[in-house]
Amino acid sequence: MYKAAMLAKDLVAASSKPLVLSILADGESYGYEIIQKVRELSGGHIEWSDGMLYPVLHRLEREGLIDSEWKEADTGRERKYYFISAAGRKVLKTERQQWLTVHNTLGKLWKIKPVTI
Amino acid sequence: MADRSQHPGQIMENQTRYDLNAAIESWRQELAAQVGLTAEVRRELETHLRDAIASFQQRGLNDEESFWLACKRVGQPPQLGQEFVKADPAAVWRERVFWMTISLVGSYVFMTWKDLLSTWLNPSSYGWIECFYLIPLFVLIGSVVMIRRGRVPSSSYLESMASWKLDCGLFAILTVTVLTAYFRSRNLSSGGEGSGGFLTTGFNIGMVLSWFGNAVWPAAMVLVLLLTLRRNRKCAGRRPAGLASDR
């Protein structure tokens, strides 16, 4: 049975931005939850090291694409929640178009049905 | 069944129970020793570690196993530090400039008030007054120890302090300090000769330059301080409309 391989390091790094922005576009989240979501959605094929996520989140925050806020969770422990900014939504739209362009180009080559934007 | 708790094996087990809090504290200290990690980042990573530990515990692992696996997932502190330095090399210098500026402003305020205190107190007691000189040294050593141990206020605390209260407070302290130094140097504060002459004697260019000489560099330090704080300030109020509500 075919088993998808783990993603190459470069591809993991390149996809981190659209992945984080897409997750946050659905609602605010925190580091641990984002990693769990990526692991779950990719079926375990995209494996982020936990420590690697935070530099990415902080970079996106410096770029003004996401914002953050410390809030008390249900457990009583404080967590830093991230949420997407208006600028982040715009960048996500562009990223989405670019990734779908790549996807559709490869799709044509591999005879896969194209995805509309 | 009650006497089972008295079993020597169980007593031994209880005595050698893994101290999860001590392990986390040790991990936290190792993290605090890394250059590239600010207090806020360390706090965030610790939250992540605790989440991971809780997750493993829910799966039935004991404290030691949970901690070990969570550490493995989050990464070793030196590795984490390197990742953050790579991502934002300037952050290290921002934090250094912040603390250097704090020290400079603090030492300026201290040196000015030390002179005043030594005048107000009995001049014959200058021997022990000199001990004041040691205070900045103790403050410096204390600050270094606190920073190394990660006991400095968290970044969010500093951010909340970096409000108008801090801005006004710093401005007021420096203004009072500079003006006091100025009046003292002109012998106008003690009500002695020349008192009330602030306006009548007028300013000459030497006085003005001297005043600016005293005022400009601490003001510049405060400006740098505020800029480093504002650089790190988060925009909690900029949440766009239409986002999911709080969980």
Note down the domain range covering B74. 15-86
Based on the fold, state whether residues B38 and B147 are members of the same structural domain: no
Based on the fold, state whether residues B93 and B172 are members of the same structural domain: yes
Q: What is the distance in angstroms between the Cα of A2 and the nearest Cα belonging to chain B? A: 28
CB B230 within 8 A of CB B167: no
Mean pLDDT across chain B: 66
Q: What SS3 class is residue A71?
A: strand
Chain B residue closest to A74 (CA)? B247
**Number of domains chain B is built from:** 2
- Decide if B178 touches A, using CB distance below 8 A: no
Q: CA A58: distance to chain centroid?
A: 14
Residue whose entry in the numeric block shows the structure tokens 């989405």: A96
Residues in chain B, how many? Answer: 247
Domain final residue pick, B57, B86, B115: B86
**Do A89 and B240 make contact, defined as CB atoms within 8 angstroms?**
yes
Based on the fold, state whether residues B77 and B192 are members of the same structural domain: no
Domain assignment present for B244: no
Distance between CA A46 and CA B219 in Å, rounded?
50
Based on the fold, state whether residues B60 and B101 are members of the same structural domain: no
Per-residue pLDDT at B5: 45
Ranking A23-37, A65-79, B10-24, B201-215 by mean pLDDT, the lowest is B201-215
- Decide if B241 touches A, using CB distance below 8 A: no
Scanning chain B, the segments in alpha helix (DSSP H) are 8-15, 20-32, 39-58, 63-74, 77-87, 89-120, 126-129, 134-148, 155-161, 164-185, 197-200, 205-232
Domain assignment present for A32: yes
Q: Please choose, from the candidates B79, B64, B92, the residue with its C-alpha nearest in 3D space to the C-alpha of residue B31.
A: B79
The enclosing domain of A27 has a CATH number of: 1.10.10.10
Which of A31, A56, A59 is opposite residue B48, by nearest beta carbon?
A31
Chain A residue closest to B236 (CA)? A69
Based on the fold, state whether residues B186 and B99 are members of the same structural domain: yes
Per-residue pLDDT at B133: 56
Confidence of residue B163 (pLDDT cuts 50, 70, 90): low
Domain final residue pick, B32, B66, B86: B86
- On chain A, the residues whose CB falls within 8 A of the CB of B40 are 80
CB B149 within 8 A of CB B32: yes
Based on the fold, state whether residues B98 and B192 are members of the same structural domain: yes
**Do A85 and B156 make contact, defined as CB atoms within 8 angstroms?**
no
- Decide if A87 touches B, using CB distance below 8 A: no
Neighbours of A32 (CB within 10 A): 22
- On chain A, the residues whose CB falls within 8 A of the CB of B243 are 27-28, 83-84
Domain assignment present for B243: no
A68 token code pair:
């953050």
Q: What is the mean pLDDT of residues B213-229?
A: 64
**Do B52 and A62 make contact, defined as CB atoms within 8 angstroms?**
no
- On chain A, the residues whose CB falls within 8 A of the CB of B74 are 50-51
CA distances A6 to A35, A47, A99, B83, Å, are 15, 7, 19, 22
- On chain B, the residues whose CB falls within 8 A of the CB of A54 are 41, 44-45, 48, 83-84
Based on the fold, state whether residues B156 and B192 are members of the same structural domain: yes
Per-residue pLDDT at A72: 85
Q: Please choose, from the candidates A63, A61, A65, A58, the residue with its C-alpha nearest in 3D space to the C-alpha of residue A85.
A: A65
Residue whose entry in the numeric block shows the structure tokens 């403050």: B139
- Decide if B19 touches A, using CB distance below 8 A: no
pLDDT over threshold 50, residue B49: yes
CA distances B48 to A34, B31, B207, Å, are 11, 13, 57
**Number of domains chain A is built from:** 1
Based on the fold, state whether residues B121 and B209 are members of the same structural domain: yes
CB A55 within 8 A of CB B87: yes
Span A61-74, pLDDT tens digits? 988 999 999 988 77
Nearest-5° angle of CA B93, CA B98, CA B103?
125
Q: What is the mean pLDDT of residues A88-92?
A: 95
Note down the domain range covering A78. 9-85
